[in-house]
Structure 1
Amino acid sequence: MKDKNKIIAGLVVFIAAITFPFWFNLGKAAPAPELVLTAKAKAAKTCVMSTEFMKANHMQLLDVWRHNVVRRSERMFVSPDGKLYDMSLSNTCLDCHSNKAEFCDRCHDYASVSPYCWDCHIDNPKGE
């Protein structure tokens, strides 16, 4: 009977220790960062895809672009509204979103991801 009480007490302590980070931080999540657009991005008012799509799927789009450029030698992307864009992170995306620290890094830091884009691409191709 004494062992039963010790086991139950041990399980309670174990469960409390394991779940501590969850209930300690309950309701304390930081809000997602607001993106800071450059003047050129604000003036353009449109991106290659909708804002909602780009927030959720920009990496998948960039992977498709990379595949099409490298493997198929396709350089142009036709957006849903029929506009043509060069499939280029440096010349298309960073043309409007040139402030990497204010645009890219804020969300990537918030999501704790380290994209490998910058292993090959420079973050300020036009030297602005």
Structure 2
Amino acid sequence: MHYGFPIIAGLLIFVVAITAPFAVGKAVTKQYKQPEPKKVVGEKECIESVEFMRTEHMQLLNEWRDWALRDGKRIYTNHAGKQFTISLQNTCMKCHTNKAEFCDKCHNDAGVSPYCWDCHVQPEGLK
């Protein structure tokens, strides 16, 4: 094998060049910390489980919008049978009081721009 050394050296350089961005990315990436909601006095849990809310909250908010505005339904019953008023500002923002630390932090990290505040007025102190 006359050209064995250059071929092996070229393959090693290729492998290093391909894997270098992954190694550098892993080294400089910070550990993401999920924001914690403030518990309201008398409330022990969110309207659904934490796992459900992290993955399905936008779908739930879209359903709430349709139920409240199109169907006139104003009460949501969760999987455990507990009822909540369908309201972004009076139900969700009761616990998630800091929009910048809760909503904006996650949405910015995920690279999404929700349209909630296109229609809803941000409560004072949440901007």
Q: CA 1:31 to 1:71, structure 2 compared with 1: closer, same or farther past 3 Å?
A: same
- TM-score, length of structure 1 as denominator length: 0.72
Contiguous gaps of at least 5 residues in structure 2: 1-13
CA–CA distance in 2 between the matches of 1:71 and 1:63?
Answer: 11
Distance apart, 1:92 and its partner CA = 0.6
Superimposed CA distance per residue, residues 61-103 of structure 1 (whole angstroms, 9 cap, x where no aligned partner): 0011111111111111001111111111111100111111111
Higher relative contact order (CA 8 A, sep 6+): 1
**CA RMSD, aligned part only?**
2.5
1:1-128, aligned counterparts within 5 Å? Answer: 24-40=24-40, 44-124=43-123, 127=124
CA–CA distance in 2 between the matches of 1:79 and 1:113?
Answer: 26
Corresponding pairs, count:
114
- TM-score, length of structure 2 as denominator length: 0.73
Contiguous gaps of at least 5 residues in structure 1: 1-12
